[in-house]
Structure 1
Amino acid sequence: MRWSDILERYNKYDDRGFIQEYLKWGERLRKAFNQATELEKIPRRVVFIGVGGSGIVGDIIRDYTYLTNRNIEVYVYKGVTPPRRIVRKSLVIGVSHSGNTIETINTLLKMHEYAPIVAVVTADGKLLEYAERYKWDINIIEPALAPRAGLPQMLGASLKMLNHVFKVDKRITRVAEKLDRLGRKLSIEKRYNEAYRMASFIWGYTPVIYGTAYYIGVLHRIKSSFNENSKVHSYYVVFPEGYHNEVEAYEKYVNQFLPIILRYDGDELDYLIEYFNKEAVRFLTYQMNERDILYRILKTIMFFDLVSIYLAYLRKVDPYVINVINEIKEMRR
């Protein structure tokens, strides 16, 4: 496809400039981290409450905790109330970009009487009102066009609160600068950039993301971005668990599915690739070998978020609107 056609679809289907939200991630991560308040005392256990684009923050921090071997337990609850035995000795962090996520608000209201410390990350809304009323710790973020595009603000504020444990204050600036450079490489002004090229390979297929248990948050985010931005079905499978179930589906392979394998040193996914090559299964790989683990996570997410935006252009859909989600949300009120 000619790049002029992509620009035409960008102007027609993305009149809000939704892609530009993702190209500002470095700047917004840096700003959110610098403006947030670090908590002085942090229990050995942290519980994140949130759903959707806000809920992914807890998933990412849980992944980062495992990968960096921090001396802290991170739990993530989405739409359900954690057991009291966990909450009583925990820092509870509620994350809601809009501040009006009913599942998050209701869960926090059930928990705040027996949680020793409650903190919130939000741009506005009812959650901010409750936080002020009950004197919870508050970190107000700059709003994005949509919660999923506001990940760097929510993550930056959450990492700052937990900086006593993660000690990323000196690293954030470097990570943000690298994200700035990545954004310039993948912008709409860069003809046939890497994110667009991957989107063109995926176009017409159902993306299936494969990775290891250390990156569940990343896998879930990629799947969700294809759902929300590209309006396509997608799912992810965690390995080595997938060696005990998912791989058997390739006995009768249907080529409407396109495996995308997230790779890094020591991932034990060579066996899967060897089988795919032997059976001539079409697949893509993405290398995650950056030494800085925080950058590795954010680069991968930012890259695939932009892939999902370019895939939306190829499919002639607006990556911003989420009509079905909003319709069902109204049904649930």
Structure 2
Amino acid sequence: MSMSGVIKNFPGQFSYKPEIQNKERLAKRPWHIVVGMGGSHLAADLLKVWNPRLPLFIHKNYGLPKVPDEILNNSLIIASSYSGNTEETLDAYEEAKKKDIPLAVLSIGGKLLKRAEKDGAPYIQMPDTGIQPRSALGFNIKALLALMGEENALEEISTLARTLQPDELEQNGKELAKNLYGFIPIIYASERNESIAYNWKIKFNETSKIPAFYNVFPELNHNEMTGFDIKPKTSKLSKNFFFILLSDEADHPKIQKRMAVLKKLYQARDLPVAEIKLSGRDVFHKIFSSLILADWATYYTAEGYGVEPEAIPMVEEFKRLVA
């Protein structure tokens, strides 16, 4: 399926009904620790946007996170690897086994799923539709919610199958891609919406094959913005960037004010700025509407540069070299 087809068909992922194998062995714990790399932790990141108070840790490394034993010993470790062959996640799985910490697995197959089957660990085998992990967020977030026992959230997020409208966002994404052509995008958001900004960034990296960066308010007002206080000898550097501000009416009023003031400061220095207003019927709708817009923007950016939007050959090359 083409990348444009993947974007248009994305809402259908929310019709997916995950099935937990070895469900009788699924431990109920007050904490959840998701271990995953790349696109395999993005769903967990977005759940923290949906509910910042969620007792959820996200670990993006080898082994297990350095959290107090009281938390670690009262956690369900969810090993998430889309391919099932992610080195760091396999290592975390084995570490959890050694420490006798309850495990569950999310994957489409690979070594991780085989280990779960062999060990009798609870697992969900997500659909293998041939798409990249970053494009499978609907499958991933529903599977994750199922393992976490978040039944109300599962019901709520399933409505996105009929309420998300990728076609309505395509033209805005295409226009944004046209405006930022030739620039390096920097995405800014509130701290709560950090994971949305991060998703935008990696979509530019992986789909468009261009550098992209992100930061959050209010921290960036204390450091990063001063790097764009243009001086005669630094103007050539600053002029390479295009700023995307993800504004949200749900943000703290002081954060909204900071974003508005920064926009004026940057524009006064002739820096290109686009403000994207996050909106939706509910938090999940707001999150994924924004990410579909990002999909279109990065897809058309890739088209503008003549690069293939789906594959990530440099990641595959790197994996071969470190194997």
Q: TM-score, normalised by structure 2?
A: 0.88
Aligned residue in 2 for 1:307: 297
Q: Unpaired segments of 5 or more residues in structure 1?
A: 1-15, 188-192
2:242·2:273 contact (CA, 8 Å) conserved in 1?
Answer: yes
Deviations 1:33-74 (A, max 9, x none): x233489763221101110111212211222221xx4xx411
Q: Secondary structure at the match of 2:29?
A: coil
Aligned residue in 1 for 2:33: 47
Aligned residue in 1 for 2:243: 259
Map 1:14-93; keep pairs closer than 5 Å: 17-31=2-16, 34-37=17-20, 42-66=28-52, 69=53, 72-81=54-63, 82-83=65-66, 85=69, 86-93=71-78
1:49·1:58 contact (CA, 8 Å) conserved in 2?
Answer: no
Instruction: State the AA in 2 paired with 1:303.
Output: L
Deviations 1:135-189 (A, max 9, x none): 211111112322221121111111222243x62233123222122xx223346xx
Out of 153, 163, 181, the position equivalent to 2:139 is 153
Cα distance in 1, alignment partners of residues 213 and 241 from structure 2: 10
Aligned residue in 2 for 1:288: 278
Q: Cα distance 1:240–1:115, how it changes in 2: closer, same or farther (>3 A)?
A: farther
Cα distance in 1, alignment partners of residues 142 and 296 from structure 2: 20
Q: Unpaired segments of 5 or more residues in structure 2?
A: none
Out of 151, 154, 157, the position equivalent to 1:172 is 157
Cα distance in 2, alignment partners of residues 232 and 89 from structure 1: 41
Q: Cα distance 1:291–1:271, how it changes in 2: closer, same or farther (>3 A)?
A: farther
Aligned residue in 1 for 2:213: 235
Cα distance in 1, alignment partners of residues 89 and 274 from structure 2: 36
Cα distance in 2, alignment partners of residues 286 and 129 from structure 1: 43
Comparing 94-103 with 229-238, greater Cα deviation is found at 94-103
1:208·1:236 contact (CA, 8 Å) conserved in 2?
Answer: yes
Cα distance in 1, alignment partners of residues 163 and 180 from structure 2: 26
Cα distance in 1, alignment partners of residues 268 and 311 from structure 2: 41
Aligned residue in 1 for 2:269: 279
Deviations 1:200-235 (A, max 9, x none): 111110000001111222111111110111010000
CA RMSD of aligned residues (A): 2.0
Aligned residue in 2 for 1:4: none
1:262·1:288 contact (CA, 8 Å) conserved in 2?
Answer: yes
Aligned residues between the structures: 304
Displacement of 1:329 in angstroms is: 1.0
Cα distance in 2, alignment partners of residues 277 and 307 from structure 1: 22
Aligned residue in 1 for 2:313: 323
Q: Secondary structure at the match of 2:56?
A: strand
